[in-house]
Amino acid sequence: MVYAIEAHDLRKSFPLKVRKRAGASGVGDTGGAEGAEGAGGDAIAASVEAVRGVTLYVAAGEVFGFLGPNGAGKTTCQRMLTTLLSIDSGSAQVAGYDVSKNPHEVRQQIGYISQLGGADLPATGRENLRLTGRLYGLAPRQVEQKIAQLSRLLSLDELLDRKVRTYSGGQKRRLEIALGIIHEPQVLFMDEPTTGLDPQNRLSLWQHISKLREGGMTIFLTTHYLDEADQLADRLAIIDHGQIVAEGTPAALKGQVKNAQGQQPTLDDVFFEKTGRSLRDISWEDEK
């Protein structure tokens, strides 16, 4: 089996300087934070174990969902897989290349759409696409061909000559996807692609992501939305406190659990079974 993404026992800690007053308790919302007790009033060093031994496999052409609450370690994992963050220990291969040993080759094979997005707001969509295409080394004619093709794929026609700052959230996301795939990557990473979008725009984006999949692209997306993982992912992993707690197809995962009210099990029932908490409640807390 050739995997588009393989990760073995990935780990990442962040050093954290915590200023702790005598008698104060806790280091804030740091999940697996570890720190030595300093003398009262001292600044003490602590670390957040953001990713604590993640192993996963994604087959070529698969949509893989990485589902978990805020702070679970999704972005940290994704940033290691995309070479943006060094790996503390463990190893990963993406599109056949080792992310630590061959970061340059990995970068040529992937697209990455971060949670914040990367479009230049005062420029138009077309200007953004032209610049990005040229940065990837495409010839001017190729760039124009790609813009026409991406415009059809992601319904950008009406938008291309407007400044990005006038776009709605969903329109901006579609442009960001176009920017992320203009160089025809084998593997596309998306961090929380629909967070902040209204239901209608989310649905439209799901349809566009499905179209990319039909074109054969491998997609690794993070989300804290249960329905998004359920709808889009061929397979998914549930991550909590830096560790994978469940993995499989949505149907297989739901088949392993019972719903407390006797209804059809959901991925939230899976999350509850593994963690004792409801992802629905945690995500709701985050958005308040």
Ligand X SMILES: Nc1ncnc2c1ncn2[C@@H]1O[C@H](COP(=O)(O)OP(=O)(O)O)[C@@H](O)[C@H]1O
Least CB distance to ligand X at residue 204 (A)? 24
Residue from 4, 18, 46, 48 touching ligand X (CB under 6 A): that is: 48
Q: Is 171 in the site for ligand X (CB under 6 A)?
A: no
Applying the rule CB under 6 A, the residues between 76 and 105 that interact with ligand X are 76
Residue number of the CB closest to Mg ion reads 75
Site mask for Mg ion (CB under 5 A), range 46-85, x = bound: ----------------------------xx----------
Work out what residue 130 binds among Mg ion, ligand X, none; the CB cut-off runs from 5 to 8 Å by kind: none
Q: Is 185 in the site for ligand X (CB under 6 A)?
A: no
Q: Is 31 in the site for ligand X (CB under 6 A)?
A: yes
Least CB distance to ligand X at residue 84 (A)? 11
CB 70, CB 18: distance < 8 Å? no
Distance CA 258, CA 159 (A): 46
Single-letter amino acid code for the residue at 268: D
**What radius of gyration, in Å, describes the C-alpha atoms of the chain?**
20
Least CB distance to ligand X at residue 214 (A)? 28
Q: Is 250 in the site for ligand X (CB under 6 A)?
A: no
Q: Is 14 in the site for ligand X (CB under 6 A)?
A: yes
Q: Is 13 in the site for ligand X (CB under 6 A)?
A: no
Q: 68 vs 111, which CB is nearer to ligand X?
A: 68
Least CB distance to ligand X at residue 121 (A)? 24
Q: Is 72 in the site for ligand X (CB under 6 A)?
A: yes
Q: Is 194 in the site for Mg ion (CB under 5 A)?
A: no
Q: Is 172 in the site for ligand X (CB under 6 A)?
A: no
Dihedrals phi, psi of 75, to nearest 5 degrees = -65, -40
SS3 of the chain: CCEEEEEEEEEEEEEEEEECCCCCCCCCCCCCEEECCCCCCCEEEEEEEEEEEEEEEEECCCEEEEECCCCCCHHHHHHHHCCCCCCCEEEEEECCEECCCCHHHHHHHEEEECCCCCCCCCCEHHHHHHHHHHHCCCCHHHHHHHHHHHHHHCCCCCCCCCEHHHCCHHHHHHHHHHHHHCCCCCEEEEECCCCCCCHHHHHHHHHHHHHHHHCCCEEEEEECCHHHHHHHCCEEEEEECCEEEEEECHHHHHHCCCCCCCCCCCHHHHHHHHHCCCHHHHHHHHHC
Work out what residue 13 binds among ligand X, Mg ion, none; the CB cut-off runs from 5 to 8 Å by kind: none
Residue from 10, 20, 75, 95 touching ligand X (CB under 6 A): that is: 75
Q: Is 68 in the site for ligand X (CB under 6 A)?
A: yes
Distance CA 11, CA 52 (A): 5
Least CB distance to ligand X at residue 47 (A)? 9
Q: Is 11 in the site for ligand X (CB under 6 A)?
A: no
Q: Is 74 in the site for ligand X (CB under 6 A)?
A: yes
CB 74, CB 239: distance < 8 Å? yes
Q: Is 283 in the site for ligand X (CB under 6 A)?
A: no
**Contact residues for ligand X, defined by CB under 6 A:** 14, 16, 30-31, 48, 50, 68, 70-76
Catalog residues that contact Mg ion under the rule CB under 5 A.
Answer: 74-75
